[in-house]
Chains A and B, each alone.
Chain A
Amino acid sequence: MSGTSQTVVQHGASGGSSAGQACACPECEGAIRFDRPPLRSQVVRCVSCGVELEVIETAPVQLALAPEVEEDWGE
């Protein structure tokens, strides 16, 4: 289990709907798109680098790396 990253990225106009917005992944800066308004604690996956991201704020949208179960690659 890895810890939640301190890296946080904020996007979106304060108080407005975030649906249709494109945010940047805090890991790779790839576009994260919301087709409906994001909810706090919602987990989304970056299609570029594959990390799971948690919505920690919605107005404006703030994303942080979500804790993940790491795989055992023969260790």
Chain B
Amino acid sequence: MKRAAIIGAAGYTGGELLRLLLDHPHVRVEAVTSRSLAGQPVHRSHPNLRGRSELLFTTPDQVTNCDVLFLCMPHGEAAKQIDRWSGVSPLIVDLSADFRLRDAAAYRTWYESEHPAAGRLAGAIYGLPELSREKIRESRGARLISGVGCNATAMNLALLPLARAGLIERVICDIKVGSSEGGAEVTAGSHHPERSGAVRMYAPAGHRHTAEVLQELGPINLDVSITAIEMVRGVHCAAHVIPTRRVESKELWKLYRAAYANEPFVRLVAEKTGLHRLPDPKILAGSNYADVGFEIDPRSGRIIAMSAIDNLMKGAAGSAVQAMNLALDLPEALGLTFAGLHPI
């Protein structure tokens, strides 16, 4: 049994990690930390876990050595504390944005500050198994695996087969997201009268997750717009691709099957008819599945590549557990096969 700890476990991603790991057959969570909730039971911030765990939140200084450590701290904190936590566990999975970019200059550009631990960036592994499976598996010794950006994950999975095939002349990703992307902290924007029913394009341009896509898929001609909609969990990506040449549906099927046929958590959803013929995050709540689909506009040749995920699962905690399974030489899908709910 592997011993795990979650630093900053009172937030939404920490709660999802705990939910997943409580059912994991080879992992035992020994510590969950929250300075503000120290001494309180975990169901105080994660009511769905009432009766599932007797763990109490502790302060970070009470965490002792473990086999895997998940960092769910506010962005910037993991980078400042990475040396400390590296002494506690040989395997760290950091769910913040701190170690997603390998290039310090790119971090400076997109996060508008110097990275506090730039020397650690090159050694961190991007934690999306669909992109980094072999790197994670083959890594040995002390390891630092980054989390993934939820919007970046939606874009990466929608576009990966097209990028590999060199088919992207230009792409604009129109992304819709749920309110849980904003985290558990209350803000003016999350106030119910402001948030409920909103169709708020909060990042028409310049969203930081763009950098993760450019890093992982290469220097594609990419623009991103992100809109908050009436949804709690979920990311939907509609990537409007102007291809380098005209393609037919059969070719896309071939490319997407080649990329994802053996992926345990990527499903192709591109049916011609039916209510659920294309990806929809609604049915993925709580699930680690990413649904990916496509359609071609016969008039213009534009490819509409689509994806849907649960931002807290495939876009955060689910991918983190999947990466942990790989790093610990466990079956990749352990603890992650919940199919979601329907209807919901």
Residues of A at the B interface (CB closer than 8 Å) are 27-30, 48-52, 68, 70-71
Given contacts A28-B270, A50-B273, 4 further A-B contacts (CB under 8 A): A29-B253, A48-B253, A50-B274, A51-B271
Instruction: State the total of A-B contacts with C-beta under 8 angstroms.
Output: 30
Residues on A with C-beta less than 8 A from B249 are 27-28
Q: Which chain B residue shows the least CB distance to A65?
A: B272
A30–B277 alpha-carbon span in the complex (Å): 16
Q: Which chain B residue shows the least CB distance to A50?
A: B271
| Most chain A beta carbons < 10 A, residue from B249, B273, B274 | B273
Residues on A with C-beta less than 8 A from B254 are 29
A71–B272 alpha-carbon span in the complex (Å): 10
User: What bracket does the count of chain B residues touching chain A fall in?
Assistant: 10 to 19
CB distance from A44 to the nearest CB of B (A): 14
Residues on A with C-beta less than 8 A from B7 are none
Residues on A with C-beta less than 8 A from B271 are 49-51
**Chain A interface mostly:** loop
CB distance from A8 to the nearest CB of B (A): 14
| Most chain A beta carbons < 10 A, residue from B268, B270, B271, B274 | B271
Q: Which of B248-262 contact A (CB under 8 A)?
A: 249-250, 253-254
Residues on A with C-beta less than 8 A from B268 are 48
Select which of B250, B253, B270, B273 is within 8 A of A68 by beta carbon.
Answer: B273
Residues on A with C-beta less than 8 A from B253 are 28-30, 48-49
CB distance from B290 to the nearest CB of A (A): 17
Residues on B with C-beta less than 8 A from A52 are 273
A61–B254 alpha-carbon span in the complex (Å): 23
A71–B277 alpha-carbon span in the complex (Å): 12
A27 and B272 contact, CB distance less than 8 A: yes
Residues on B with C-beta less than 8 A from A68 are 272-273
User: Can you name 13 A-B residue pairings with CB atoms under 8 Å?
Assistant: A27-B272, A28-B250, A28-B270, A29-B253, A48-B268, A49-B271, A50-B273, A51-B271, A51-B273, A52-B273, A68-B273, A70-B273, A71-B273
CB distance from B316 to the nearest CB of A (A): 29
B274 and A29 contact, CB distance less than 8 A: no
Residues on A with C-beta less than 8 A from B250 are 27-29
CB distance from A22 to the nearest CB of B (A): 15
A30–B253 alpha-carbon span in the complex (Å): 8
Residues on B with C-beta less than 8 A from A70 are 273
A70–B273 alpha-carbon span in the complex (Å): 8
Residues on B with C-beta less than 8 A from A71 are 273
CB distance from B247 to the nearest CB of A (A): 13
Residues on A with C-beta less than 8 A from B277 are 50
